[in-house]
Structure 1
Amino acid sequence: MKKSRVILTMLLSILLAAGIFVYYQFNKPHRDFAAEEAAYTLSAEGLVKAYQQDPSLSDSLYVDQLVAVSGEISQLKENALLLSPGIYLSLDSTQSLAALQVGQQVSLVGRVLSYDPLLEEVKMDNARIQN
């Protein structure tokens, strides 16, 4: 009887601890990208070349980091833009593309998500315009 009670108490304790952990993980505050400074500042060409030369090293340096990139806009979409030679930036919801034009030089800060070797594109999100 005592052995089963100890096992039941341990199981309930583990379930309670797991429940508390899950609750805090789902309710932790979101990362505020607007309040953060860029960890790295690169040209669009420099970031793409770094990924082409050594993707694993570049991933360890840049993924989930805020990076400031500057380059020429080659394409505008609804809430995203493409910097030449291959950086796809999804803009933060507070940003507008109204003042931007294809061919314009621009500096942006965004979080690096990944590199697509097939398209040779660096994907970034939560981007905001610097200039």
Structure 2
Amino acid sequence: MKRNWVVLIIGLIIAAIISYNYIYQNHRDIANESAEYTMVASELSELFSKNLTSAEHKFLNKTIEVSGLVSEINTNDITINDKVFCQFTDKVDASLSKNDTIKIKGRVIGYDDLLEQVKLDQCSIIN
């Protein structure tokens, strides 16, 4: 009987360790990942607006590089060609201004139908 309790406790400890490691996995480092796709902002937006399901299947949660003109700039985000919204974890470089050509790497998190913008997060400026 005592042996059954020991086996049960050891089993629970192993299950707890496996569960903890599954829940608290290491986060992706998008800045150091290589981009799976490289394209212009207008091309990416067009793919999403034409066939949302296909584009989400292809790009969702993937690391991509997008280039274009800065159309809006805030403390933690940049909008490229009014079509791609890029959210940064750190503050955006203060030397950037509207109409600068820029290349950004980030993770695709979705498409906003209302604003017709592709959303990226964990972005970093390439050039």
TM-score class normalised by the smaller sequence: 0.7 to 0.9
When the two structures are aligned, how many residues end up with a matched partner?
126
Identity percentage of aligned residues: 28
| Partner SS for 2:69 | strand
CA RMSD across the alignment: 2.2
Select which of 54, 57, 73 maps to 1:57.
54
* Contact 1:48-1:85 at 8 Å conserved across structures: no
Q: Which residue of 1 aligns with 2:100?
A: 104
Counterpart of 2:39 (choices 37, 42, 64) is: 42
Superposed counterparts of 1:24-103, under 5 Å: 24-93=21-90, 96-103=92-99
The TM-score normalised by the length of structure 1 is: 0.83
Q: 2: CA distance between counterparts of 1:54 and 1:32?
A: 29
Maintained 8 Å contact 1:79/1:97: no
The amino acid that maps onto 2:110 is S
Q: Is the 8 A contact 2:77 2:87 kept in 1?
A: yes
In 2, distance between residues paired with 1:9 and 1:33? 44
Hey, what's the Cα distance between the residues in 2 that align with 1:55 and 1:9?
54
Matched residue of 2:25: which SS?
A: coil
CA contact (8 A) 2:31 2:123 kept: no
1:21 is aligned to 2:18: yes
